[in-house]
Amino acid sequence: MSEITYKTIAAPSEAQYRVLGSRHISYAYPVVTEDQIKTIIDQLWKEHHSATHVCYAWRLGWEKKLYRINDDGEPGGTAGKPIYGQIQSFDLTNILIAVVRYYGGTKLGTGGLIDAYKTAAKLAIEAASILEHEVQDVYQLTFTHEQLPRVMKALKEMQMNKINSVLDLNCMLEFSIRKSQQKKLEDLSADLTDAVLAYKGTL
């Protein structure tokens, strides 16, 4: 199985774009859940309580199937859609881009709004560091303490990344591995008496 990768940003970034008196402050965040996104949007409104709009778009998952756009009161298709268009243009996922707008007194018109939100989103992405992330599956393996040396040796060969562990009479390891290692992991679990392997999700 060949490795699967996706592009996202390494850390939050920020940029600004001004046009006809209106100020657009754009933010890009690496995210993995909708709860994270909601928390960030709520925080932006607290920080920019006098802003006219907080428009945004996001996409989640290595398959890039989960996304949403929000115009926050701007004319339909003039804010969230051009923001999302930049996410698509840079082929990113697990990302939220929010643009805070302070109205400057001069209407931009439909074309002007689209261009402003598109440009602000692009600047936030360009200010970020884009990285290629290798898709990994998260598992939880429970087994006996006597099996610990064998398990650790095998998982080390699979280059597992440990997330959590309980090493007692009964052991539990939560870890992530590359998708190409799935068959080896399943074979290991099958060879361990009374071991239980549970799939927990994808990173």
Above 80 in pLDDT, residue 3?
no
Per-residue pLDDT, averaged over 82-93, amounts to 98
Work out the number of other CB atoms within 10 angstroms of the CB of residue 186.
12
Confidence (pTM): 0.80
Query: Binning pLDDT at 50, 70 and 90, where does residue 203 land?
Result: confident
> What does the pLDDT average to over 53-64?
95
